[in-house]
Amino acid sequence: MRKSVIASLFLVVVLGLPLVGCQDTKARQENDQLKAQVAELQKENADLSSKVDGLAKENSDLASENEKLKAPKKSTKKSTKGKHHKHKQTTTSSN
């Protein structure tokens, strides 16, 4: 009985090792694929980060330009509106 248990364990170990090795190979392949994906995502992240920085600078430039355009213009001419008023003549009509 003891020999059959030992033989069974030996058989399980002998047949199980190739399966473990196969799974290990699959895990390594998957690990390599995941590493490649992580590297690609890190590159995309760096590219997007630089794009965000560029867009933020452009946004800042446009905001300052917008503020300059919104600022009231300082006129060097003096307004002549107040100096030359036309007085309306009041006419009295007789009935």
Give the count of beta carbons closer than 10 Å to the beta carbon of residue 54. 10
Q: Nearest Cα to 47, choosing from 59, 39, 58, 57?
A: 39
Instruction: Quote the CA–CA distance of 47 and 40 in Å, as a whole number.
Output: 11
Instruction: Quote the CA–CA distance of 20 and 26 in Å, as a whole number.
Output: 10
Instruction: Quote the CA–CA distance of 18 and 31 in Å, as a whole number.
Output: 19
16-72 per-position pLDDT tens digit: 777 666 678 888 999 999 999 999 999 999 999 999 999 999 999 999 999 999 988
pTM of the model: 0.46
